[in-house]
Chains A and B, each alone.
Chain A
Amino acid sequence: AQSVTQLDSHVSVSEGTPVLLRCNYSSSYSPSLFWYVQHPNKGLQLLLKYTSAATLVKGINGFEAEFKKSETSFHLTKPSAHMSDAAEYFCVVSDRRTSGTYKYIFGTGTRLKVLA
C-alpha cells in the first residue's frame, strides 16, 4: 500500500525567511502527488500537483515542490514566508488500488507558524 509521511508536525519560520515542509512517500506505481493548504476553519485548497510531467512544480502563492524519485520525496518550499502562509499543510499521494480505482492518502499535516 502507498503511504505518505510528513516529517515535521510543526514548523516555525520568521516572516521573509524560506519555508521548507518535508514529505516522503512510498509508491509501487507512478504516483500523483499534491500539496493542499488548510487555513483555520476552512476547507482544503490545492497548492500544487505532480502528475508525471515536470519534476519541479510551481503552485500558487509562490510555493513550489520538487518530485525526487530517487529520494521518494516531494518537499514544499517557498523563498520568503508571509504572515498569511500560517496554516496547516497536507501532502497527499493518490493511491492506485487493486480494483483500478484511486484514492487520496493524506499525510498527518504540518502546521506552519510564521513569526513577525
Chain B
Amino acid sequence: DSGVTQTPKHLITATGQRVTLRCSPRSGDLSVYWYQQSLDQGLQFLIQYYNGEERAKGNILERFSAQQFPDLHSELNLSSLELGDSALYFCASSEAKTAYNEQFFGPGTRLTVL
C-alpha cells in the first residue's frame, strides 16, 4: 500500500458528461501528479500540483482540469467526455517539488465512457 488513495475505483459514464476523480496524497507529500494510462497512448503525464499551485503541465487536454486543495488532496475534472477518454487515471505523490525523485502511485480510477 503506497499511502495514496483514489476514488472512485471505477466510473462508467456517457459521452458528453463530466466527471471528477479524487486523489489523497501520502501524508506529508506536497506534490500530486496525474497520469493517464491507455492501450494506445501508454502512460502519459497530465499535470502536477505542488502545495496548491500548478507546477508542471504535460499532455493534458483543454477539456480536462485539475486543482489541489489546502488539505493537499487533488481533483481531476474531465468534461465533454469522449470515447477515447476511457483509460486508467493514476495519481501519484511525492515530497519533492520536482519529478526528479520517486513518486508513489495510487491504485487508479478506471474510467469507461460509453
A interface residues, Cβ below 8 angstroms from B: 32, 34, 36, 42-46, 49, 51, 90, 94, 96-97, 99, 101-106, 108-109
Contact = CB atoms under 8 A, between A and B. Distances in A.
Interface in B63-114: 90, 92, 98-108
Contacts of B107: 42-43
A103 B98 CA distance: 8
A44 B92 CA distance: 9
B42 A49 contact: no
Given A51-B100, A94-B99, A102 B43 contact: no
A102 B99 contact: yes
Given A43-B2, A44-B90, A45-B2, A103 B56 contact: yes
B48 interface: yes
Contact of B100 (A42, A90, A94, A105): A94
Nearest to A30: B100
A36 B104 CA distance: 10
Contacts of B92: 44
B74 to A, nearest CB: 15
Interface size class of B (residues with CB under 8 A): 20 to 34
Contacts of A104: 33, 35, 45, 99, 103
B109 to A, nearest CB: 11
For chain A, what secondary structure do more than half of its interface residues adopt (helix, strand, loop), or is it mixed? strand
A45 B100 CA distance: 16
Contacts of A96: 100
A36 B102 CA distance: 10
A32 B94 CA distance: 15
A103 B43 contact: no
Contact of B102 (A34, A42, A102, A109): A34
B55 interface: yes
B93 to A, nearest CB: 11
Contact of A46 (B42, B90, B99, B102): B102
Residue of A94, A96, A99, A102 with most partner-chain B CB within 10 A: A102
B101 A101 contact: no
